[in-house]
Structure formats: structure tokens, C-alpha cells
Amino acid sequence: MSGDPLLVERRGAVALLTFNRPDKLNALTSALRRAFIAALSDLADDDEVRAVVLTGAGRAFSSGLDLGEIAASGASVEDNVGAENMVDAIAAFPKPLIGAINGIAVTGGFEIALALDILLVAEEASFIDSHVRVGITPGWGLSQRLARAVGLSRANELSLSARPLAAHEAVAWGLANHVYPAGELVPAALALADQIAAHAPGGVEAMKALIRSGFEATLEAGLRMEDAAARAANLDVAPDAVAAGFNRARAQQGEGGSRE
């Protein structure tokens, strides 16, 4: 396997990104963080790519920041968290990002997973927030995103105890969508990405942005966002184009209708 810290493979309309430091549990060095941010920037500008899958090589998704590199650098953890901020890059990425969580996702790796749009997990996967073990505070959003994903009490349990959250429990708690045997995980994630990529890219990106922004607001504010977006997006859509779209959707679902 290539010695690059991040592997980038384009498979038609889908890109597969793989953290590639399996001997170090895919710990996030500065080089890996820079490569990831650059890859997302390139993929955002690539009109041929409509969805992205992120996974890890070996038995880990990511064990978080490379503490050995931080110790050797003389810089603080805070400075390292602020530099090459992968979660900010994920938040700015307009296309769907699916996490194929193949193994442990610890601390910074957990924070990256929480920032993705959809999570699929291998049976061996687990999530661990170990910040309290070393007496540091999250800098990539874990203290806020985890509670929104699983609820306040469960987030307190995970973050205050630093216990692992196993794959099936992560699905039961609503953190992840589905569990797969290890060999089926990435193919399942790629198949889902292909399904998403088959739709109009503008519509997919607009829907992703609307869901995310509405989730972070109150229901009333979110409904106003949806109404404004619908009015703006639908002004130039001809009635016959809408009808054709509904016909295609019914045909794809086996309900009859035209496939024009």
C-alpha cells in the first residue's frame, strides 16, 4: 500500500478517502491533516465527484491527533488542534460525506466521525472520547455534537467515563445508521454513495445544506429556511419538469410511470 498518509481513489462519481497510517492507528499527523484538507478542497471543485466515502486502513478509523508528533513539536495540543482543522474542512464541504467507520474512532477520530453526514460502522468499530483521561477539552466540536447526536445523558456517560461505545450500541443510540461485517463495510458505503450520486448534484447539495442548517436552528427558524429555499429554488422550475421528475421517481420505485 502507498506510503501516502491519505489515499484518494476516484470511482466514477464517488471518491474514497482512506486514512493510511495503519501501523499508528491512523493517528492524525500534521501531514495527514494537510492532505485531508487539500483533498476535500480538490473534491469540492471536481464536478465529476458527487459523494465521498471516508474510512481508515487497518484496525482503526483514527486514534486522534498524533501525540508523539505533538510532544516532539513543542507546540501545545490547543495549537495543534487549531492548525489544519479537519472538522472545519468537513463542515465547509458541500457534498455528502459518508463515514465507513472500520475500527476504533478515538477522541479526534471520534470528532471527525461526528462531523460527517452519514455513519456506517463495521462490527469491530467503537467510539471513545478519551479527553478526560488526559485532562484536555475537545477542540473539534465533540462536546456539542455528541449530545446532539445521542442526547445529553448518554453524551455525559460517554465523555465522563471515557468508555467505548460499540458498533451495535452506536446504531441503537442513533449515532450510526447500520452495522456491517468488516468486509462488507466499504462496499456498502460506496453503494450508498453511488445511490446518492445518481441524483441531481445541485439538489443533493441544497438538501444537505438545508438539513444541516435547520438542525442547528430552532424548528421555527428551520421551517423559515426551508420556505425561503423552496421559493428561491422552485421559481424557475417548469411544471412539466416537475411532472417528469415525479414520473422518474415512481418508475424507480416500481410504481409505474414514464422513464423518460
**pLDDT tens digit sequence for 49-70:** 999 999 999 999 999 999 888 8
Rounded to whole angstroms, the Cα distance separating 16 from 26 reads: 16
Lowest-pLDDT range, 26-40, 178-192, 239-253?
239-253
What pTM did the predictor assign?
Answer: 0.88
What's the pLDDT tens digit per position in 118-165?
Answer: 999 999 999 999 999 988 899 999 999 999 999 999 999 999 999 999
- What per-residue confidence (pLDDT) applies to 259? 35
Type of residue numbered 184: E
HSE (side-chain half, CA atoms, 13 Å) at 109 = 30
Percent of the chain with pLDDT over 90: 72
Closest CA to 54 of 123, 129, 107, 113: 113
- What per-residue confidence (pLDDT) applies to 257? 40
- What per-residue confidence (pLDDT) applies to 249? 59
- What per-residue confidence (pLDDT) applies to 2? 73
More confident: 37 or 248: 37
Cell numbers linked to 129 = 472520547
- What per-residue confidence (pLDDT) applies to 146? 97
pLDDT at 77 over 60: yes
In CATH terms, is domain 6-197 a member of 3.90.226.10? yes
Q: Are 144 and 126 in contact (CB under 8 A)?
A: no
Rounded to whole angstroms, the Cα distance separating 203 from 95 reads: 11
- Average pLDDT, stretch 163-187? 98
Task: Please state the domain extents for the chain.
Answer: 6-197, 217-252
Lowest-pLDDT range, 33-47, 71-85, 146-160?
71-85
Rounded to whole angstroms, the Cα distance separating 94 from 47 reads: 12
pLDDT at 24 over 50: yes
pLDDT class for 73, splitting at 50, 70, 90?
Answer: confident
DSSP structure string for the chain:
--S-SEEEEEETTEEEEEE--GGGTT-B-HHHHHHHHHHHHHHHH-TT--EEEEEESTTEEE--B-HHHHHHH---HHHHHHTT-HHHHHHH--S-EEEEE-SEEETHHHHHHHHSSEEEEETT-EEE--HHHHT---SSSHHHHHHHHH-HHHHHHHHHH---EEHHHHHHTTS-SEEE-HHHHHHHHHHHHHHHHTS-HHHHHHHHHHHHHHHTS-HHHHHHHHHHHHHHHHTT--HHHHHHHHHHHHHHTTS-----
- What per-residue confidence (pLDDT) applies to 186? 98
- What per-residue confidence (pLDDT) applies to 236? 56
- What per-residue confidence (pLDDT) applies to 260? 35
Closest CA to 189 of 202, 176, 206: 176
- What per-residue confidence (pLDDT) applies to 256? 45
What's the pLDDT tens digit per position in 208-239?
Answer: 999 988 888 888 888 888 988 888 876 555 55
**Phi, psi at residue 56, to the nearest 5°?**
-125, 150
- What per-residue confidence (pLDDT) applies to 206? 92
